[in-house]
């Protein structure tokens, strides 16, 4: 049985297969996590191959540094994948992004990601910098909270939840714990789908906002066009509709030629990507790892066009 602090990598073999690993290639694992994808890529590489990983989480970086100390083909950067653009142009044979929060982050109550485990209301991917959710909630207006809960959580009760948080602040002071927040949200959400906790979307919204996850994803996708070699693969695993919509629209926009209607005789803008398909987790994987149920993996290949 899967225990706390362990991580079962979603779409492990499918993702690495989609990268089309070349034994002497250079690959980027943009979200190292606990290194499941990285280790499988390394197993397919020769001594001249290379894997570069990114991660904001100090705990993930510590695991990665242990691997880097024993394998010269691997290096880790303690930063988010928004920094992909710092890599040399056309230097990467494959780029993998496994988005969202990992099981160790959810299982560690001190990180504040889970509404099922009471802990400090933090939710930062990188605990060495930035503002925690608790700090943001101390000064955020009702309008700001409503916007974040609505836009980042797709929560239809965003307004009532924001007002309930504001009432709680005025009556009892700042919210500091995850159990407190979950209780406040539950009191404001009157109906919810069976089996889904009322706090799910609000916790998702605050996590996405405090870590600027959607902005970082957009930056990384744009950078992928610069760093991928021709025929290099872009593989992205998403776990909710906001992420997947951004990935889908980005890939679709760069997988077609664009004509300038103002200059009908001009050459169209070249395609940058060729779509390679969408993959979902198998029934067997979902049975052994329920987190895989919402996973969507999209694959595209960089075209020869400059």
The reported pLDDT for the residue numbered 261 is: 60
Q: Report whether 231 contacts 92 (CB < 8 A).
A: no
Instruction: Show Cβ contacts of residue 139 under 8 Å, excluding neighbours closer than 6 positions.
Output: none
Query: What is the H or E stretch that residue 147 is in?
Result: helix 142-153
Mean per-residue pLDDT, 69-80: 97
Averaged pLDDT, 136-143 = 97
d(CA 281, CA 224): 24
Q: What is the pLDDT of residues 233-258, one digit of tens each?
A: 999 999 999 999 999 999 999 997 65
Domain-wise residue ranges, the chain: 12-103+213-302, 127-210
Tell me the mean pLDDT in the region 49-59: 97
The percentage of the chain sitting over the pLDDT mark of 70, rounded to a whole number, equals 92
Return the H-helix or E-strand segment holding 95: strand 92-98
Using CA atoms, how far apart are residues 296 and 280, in angstroms rounded to an integer?
Answer: 5
CB atoms within 10 A of CB 25: 22
Identify the CATH assignment for 127-210 out of 1.10.150.50, 3.30.70.20, 3.40.50.150, 1.10.150.170.
Answer: 1.10.150.170
pLDDT of residue 3: 40
Q: Using alpha carbons only, how large is the chain's radius of gyration in Å?
A: 21
What was the pLDDT predicted at 2?
A: 37
- What topology is assigned to 12-103+213-302 in CATH? Rossmann fold (3.40.50)
- In this prediction, residue 263 carries a pLDDT of 56
Residue 226 has pLDDT above 90, yes or no: yes
Work out the average pLDDT over 218-226: 97
Distance CA 84, CA 68 (A): 19
């Amino acid at each position: 049985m899967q225990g706390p602090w362990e991580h079962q990598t979603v779409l492990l073999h499918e993702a690495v297969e989609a990268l089309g690993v070349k034994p002497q290639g250079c690959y980027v694992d943009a979200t190292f996590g606990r290194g499941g994808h990285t280790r499988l890529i390394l197993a397919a590489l020769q001594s001249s191959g290379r894997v570069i990983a990114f991660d904001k989480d100090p705990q993930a970086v510590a695991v990665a540094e242990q691997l880097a100390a024993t394998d010269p083909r691997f290096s880790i950067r303690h930063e988010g994948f928004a920094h992909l653009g710092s890599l040399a142009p056309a230097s990467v044979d494959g780029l993998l992004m496994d988005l969202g929060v990992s099981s160790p982050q959810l299982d560690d109550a001190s990180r504040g990601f889970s509404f099922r485990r009471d802990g400090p209301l933090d939710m930062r991917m990188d605990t060495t910098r930035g503002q925690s959710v608790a700090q943001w909630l101390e000064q955020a207006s009702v309008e700001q909270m409503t916007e974040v809960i609505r836009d980042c959580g797709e929560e239809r009760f965003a307004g009532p939840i924001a007002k309930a948080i504001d009432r709680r602040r005025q009556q009892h002071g700042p919210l500091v714990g995850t159990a407190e927040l979950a209780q406040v949200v539950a009191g404001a959400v009157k109906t919810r789908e069976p089996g889904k906790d009322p706090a799910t979307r609000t916790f998702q919204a605050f996590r996405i906002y405090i870590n600027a996850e959607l902005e970082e994803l957009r930056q990384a996708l744009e950078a992928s066009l610069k760093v991928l070699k021709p025929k290099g693969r872009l593989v992205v695993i998403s776990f909710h509709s906001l992420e997947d919509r951004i990935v889908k629209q980005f890939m679709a926009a760069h997988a077609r030629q664009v004509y300038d209607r103002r200059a009908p005789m001009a050459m169209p803008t070249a395609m940058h990507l060729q779509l390679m398909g969408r993959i979902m987790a198998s029934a067997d994987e979902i049975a052994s790892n329920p987190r895989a149920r919402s996973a969507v993996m999209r694959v595209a290949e960089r075209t020869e066009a400059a």
